[in-house]
Structure 1
Amino acid sequence: MSDTGGASDDDDDEEDGSARPARPAGALDGIILLWGSRLLLAAGAVVVLAALVLMVTDDEDGGGGDEPTNTFGTMTPDATTEPSDPSGAPSTEDGAVASLPEVDGPFAAGRTQIPGFGEVEVHVIDGPDGEPIVLCVLLAETPDQRRQGLMRVEDPSLGGYDGMLFTFDEDQDGGFWMRDTPLPLSVAYLDDDGAAVDTQDMEPCLSEGPDCPSYPSSDRFRQALEVPQGGLERLGLHAGSDARLEVAGACRDA
């Protein structure tokens, strides 16, 4: 006796002449695992592709350690931290500046100028004997001047100057190197008040190119004073000392 509401599924199967196959146990779980594994593989491929893009971008931006990072002064600075001054001269492939713009001065009499650099008088106060020490130093205040520094300067007297002062607009990390610098130098890293936060003796490096060692500061600095090696002792500039450097203005005649 049949139901009055219509034929049953069994009756339909019999009328079609075929039976619906039963779904194997666990088939749904297998499908989920299959598609899940495919999604994981796709995600892994995306991660690998992104890593490759980052590596290529880093190489194009100068990554790879051809030169020390965050280096200044008598060396080539890293391009990401020390961009070329648009008003300055282009850098050559070996790290030097092709030709620094002429500096108008003023210049005091009695010293031999180094082209492309100005000069400034500085005083070291609260030094070893308590009396101010007056110095006339070369001034490196633009990116290209800081990049050039004392590269290729061979005169141990620096033309009558007492050293070179590097100034920055903001506190800096890193330090200096001696690529293509024939004179042994000492550097005092100074904070914004002119007090020494660290000092380093630096040796000439004429043949190692980008493999020249760097001499980083142990603390952040705003200025740096380079002098012929050993010249910091008489100034009393070292970490923890009371001595500090003040910029005074135009140099006096030698």
Structure 2
Amino acid sequence: MGKNKSKKSKNQNKMIKIVAALAAVVFLIYLLNLPGLFMKKEKGNEELNAALKNKTAFSFVKEGELSFVNNKDEQIVKIDVEIADDDIQRATGLMYREYMAENQGMLFIFPHESPQSFWMKNTILPLDIIFVDAGGNIVKIHKYTTPYSETSYQSGKPAKYVVEVNAGFADKYGIREGDRIVWRRL
């Protein structure tokens, strides 16, 4: 009888996890579509427009530090990073940001290393997009990306991390494919 209760309890736990996962997916879909729902209406989008105009709504929040390191293990440059490590943060990224200091960037962390693709839709700032594998090695750099572009910037190789910095950053500091990143969360 104890085994039946244990099996029943495990099945209930599995069911609860499945229902919670489905609810999370539905909620995520809702959140991802929410800005589009507001943008389609001329009236009733005052809150979203206010948030877009309010620079603090999309201001930088330091969540970590990241160093670019060359093949001699020498630090090239260190920046402060905001971390995007969930679906909503990764989908939003640096969209709607009007300013980012030279020593700042965004670090995207994906759950698995795989080919990645980014675009610049709703991104005001021109960026350098740096794709990094699970070992911290830079595998691809797209420099001077075009704001608002729907061009797909591909990693070319599997990547677990993506670093976005202001356009021209990679050239200014001589960051190249084959260099590495080292980072820490605060």
Report TM bin, short chain: 0.5 to 0.7
Q: Residue in 2 aligned with 1:119? A: 63
Could you say what secondary structure the match of 1:217 adopts?
A: strand
Q: Deviating runs (4+, > 3 A) in structure 1?
A: 83-89, 93-96, 112-118, 234-237
CA distance in 2, matches of 1:215, 1:95: 27
1:150 aligns with 2:94: yes
Q: In the alignment, residue 90 of structure 1 is paired with which amino acid?
A: L
Q: In the alignment, residue 139 of structure 1 is paired with which amino acid?
A: I
Match among 161, 171, 190 for residue 113 of structure 2: 171
Please show how residues 126-205 of structure 1 align to structure 2 within 5 Å.
Answer: 126=70, 130-131=74-75, 133-155=77-99, 158=100, 162-201=104-143, 202-205=145-148
- TM-score when normalising by structure 2: 0.64
Unaligned runs of 5+ in 1: 1-82, 100-111, 207-211
Could you say what secondary structure the match of 1:232 adopts?
A: helix
1:215 aligns with 2:153: yes
Match among 166, 175, 178 for residue 228 of structure 1: 166
- TM-score when normalising by structure 1: 0.49
Q: Pick closer, same or farther for the CA change 1:131–1:115 going to 2, 3 Å.
A: closer
Q: Pick closer, same or farther for the CA change 1:84–1:223 going to 2, 3 Å.
A: farther
CA distance in 2, matches of 1:140, 1:205: 20
Could you say what secondary structure the match of 2:75 adopts?
A: coil
Query: Larger helix proportion, structure 1 or 2?
Result: 2
CA distance in 2, matches of 1:125, 1:85: 41
Q: Which has the higher Rg, Structure 1 or Structure 2? A: 1
CA distance in 2, matches of 1:189, 1:95: 32
CA distance in 2, matches of 1:182, 1:147: 15
CA distance in 2, matches of 1:174, 1:180: 19
Q: Residue in 1 aligned with 2:16? A: none
Q: Pick closer, same or farther for the CA change 1:161–1:126 going to 2, 3 Å.
A: closer
Task: Say whether the 8 Å CA contact 2:59–2:97 is kept in structure 1.
Answer: no
Q: In the alignment, residue 159 of structure 2 is paired with which amino acid?
A: F
Q: Pick closer, same or farther for the CA change 1:227–1:160 going to 2, 3 Å.
A: closer
| Percent of aligned positions that are identical | 25
Deviations 1:73-106 (A, max 9, x none): xxxxxxxxxx95958971135499x99xxxxxxx
Q: Pick closer, same or farther for the CA change 1:127–1:113 going to 2, 3 Å.
A: farther
Displacement of 1:219:
0.9
Displacement of 1:126:
2.7
Q: Pick closer, same or farther for the CA change 1:126–1:180 going to 2, 3 Å.
A: same
Could you say what secondary structure the match of 1:145 adopts?
A: helix
Q: Pick closer, same or farther for the CA change 1:174–1:247 going to 2, 3 Å.
A: closer
Displacement of 1:235:
4.5
CA distance in 2, matches of 1:118, 1:183: 18
Pick which of 186-195 and 122-131 moved more. 122-131
Q: Residue in 2 aligned with 1:90? A: 31
Q: Pick closer, same or farther for the CA change 1:114–1:93 going to 2, 3 Å.
A: closer
Could you say what secondary structure the match of 1:219 adopts?
A: strand
